[in-house]
Structure 1
């Protein structure tokens, strides 16, 4: 995915989650399936996008993502949530649930 495509997706979709990972990051690889499952089960209307920092440095730079894992959640084109490194699935679910119910 390129920067223009991602920007268009964020602008056109009500909800977008962007998960940034790095190739040699064990936490990234362990956390990704759990976060993907959370969005597919609890927040199915939010589009989930995975970005590898090493393959898309332009996207990482544009969104000021310099460490992995990082999760950005956008609602109606605006950044709603930014989680870097340590993130709890339960905490994510609690934080996202209220705006999700209001928008969908």
Structure 2
């Protein structure tokens, strides 16, 4: 499985986004069954994209994340390239469509 970094402060989130050129933030809550089902699928997908660094934020422990990124539900997947948000998926994520979009961004960004 793809490694990820647990982020617990907004400063850590900002540092994470600026220290890697391609990042994926997975935002979840502790009691969210959809989050727990989706997280390993995203980790498995990222095995094919080694340049994408994954960060995880538990919104129960960092409530300010909702305001920082205008999040109204979980799970949320945010993909950043060069520190700018390029993709956003929330709640029910179609993994095949997400993989297709990620592949396009990944290919375009690295070539």
**Deviation for aligned residue 1:13:** 1.1
Q: What is aligned with 1:16?
A: 23
Structure 1 stretches of 4+ with a deviation exceeding 4 A read none
- Residue 84 of structure 1 and its aligned partner are, at CA, apart by 0.8
Aligned length: 103
Q: Is it true that 1:48 corresponds to 2:54 in the alignment? A: yes
Aligned residues: CA RMSD = 1.1
Q: CA deviation at 1:37?
A: 1.0
* Superposed displacement of residue 12, structure 1: 2.5
Deviation (angstroms), 1:26 = 0.7
Who is 1:34 aligned against?
41
1:19 Cα shift?
0.5
Deviation string, structure 1 residues 48-74 (Cα, Å, up to 9, x no partner): 011111101122221111211111000
**Which structure 2 segments of 5+ residues have no match?**
1-6
TM-score normalised by length of structure 2: 0.86
Deviation at 1:24, TM superposition (A): 1.4
